[in-house]
Amino acid sequence: MVILYYVVVMGPAGSGKSTFTYALSEWIEDHEMSVTRVNFDPAAEFVPYNPDVDVREYVSVRDIMSKYGLGPNGALIAATDMLVNHISDIKNEIESLNNNYVIVDMPGQLEIVAFRRVGPLLINYLTEGRKTVSLFLIDSYLTLSPLSTISMLLLSISSMLRIGKPQIVALTKADLLTPEQEARIIRMFDEEYSCDELLESKDLFDVDLSLRLCEVVRESLVEVIPTSAVSGKGLDEVYAAIQRVLGYGEDYLTEEPSGKL
């Protein structure tokens, strides 16, 4: 029997979750493993992949807007709440496919998933009894200053605490960064990096608070992986990081068959 591994893709709107889901799932299949793509966004107008499981088949944001006179945001909240009534069927549909990996493409409105009670409830029910990792995506454009980088990483830590799953942070659209910008971000996670270097930044509002938050981020996260869904950059590193998390710190301890790994 195939053992399922869940990868829950989260991040702010515009971080490239659906595109990354497509790229990572293609990478997995190219390496002779099976994958289930789950669109978990009931408001998605378009996704760049063919979902194997799609929550839009269970709830319709447009129907909710029409029936209850709600706006887009209110309808999305209502739709997410309504998924509770269907989560058992969604889980059964996913597991009936019996693929190695399940990539869950979460809604772009992060606050609905991570900061309302129903979000963690849905994720935990869906992944109960399965090895699971959260993949938090950050748009590289939002890391152009040290302070904005720290702000986004704090958001990732907050999400990790809410859903209670180990987390990997991937920096998307890294092909748009200059080598210097990418090196600066990676350097923040070097053992020799000092948060005092933030003092060189011109956008600090509260120096002491910024320095303390910098230390919190560095102590809470192990690495940030620069990636590009366009070029495929970093996908192998993301997969290796997933293996380390699912294998409890060891490389390649999961049981999926692959002639290429």
- Note the pLDDT of residue 147: 75
- Note the pLDDT of residue 251: 45
Say which residue the tokens 């790229």 belong to. 23
Of 24, 64, 20, 22, the C-alpha closest to 42 is 64
Compute mean pLDDT per 10 residues along the chain, 261 residues long, and list them. 88 95 97 96 95 97 94 93 97 96 94 86 96 95 79 88 93 91 76 63 68 77 85 96 79 54 58
| Contact criterion met (CB below 8 Å) for 94 and 126 | yes
Q: DSSP string covering 94-120, please?
A: HHHH--SEEEEE--S-HHHHHSSTHHH
* CATH level 3 topology of 5-141+160-177+223-246: Rossmann fold (3.40.50)
Give the 3-state secondary structure of 181-205: HHHHHHHCCCCCCCHHHHHHCCCCC
Residue 104: phi, psi to the nearest 5? -105, 115
Look up residue 13 and give its two tokens.
């709107």
- Note the pLDDT of residue 229: 95
Give all strands (DSSP E) within 35-80, no chain letters. Answer: 35-39, 53-54
- Widest CA span of the chain, in angstroms? 58
Measured between alpha carbons, how far is 170 from 136 in angstroms, rounded to an integer? Answer: 6
pTM of the model: 0.90
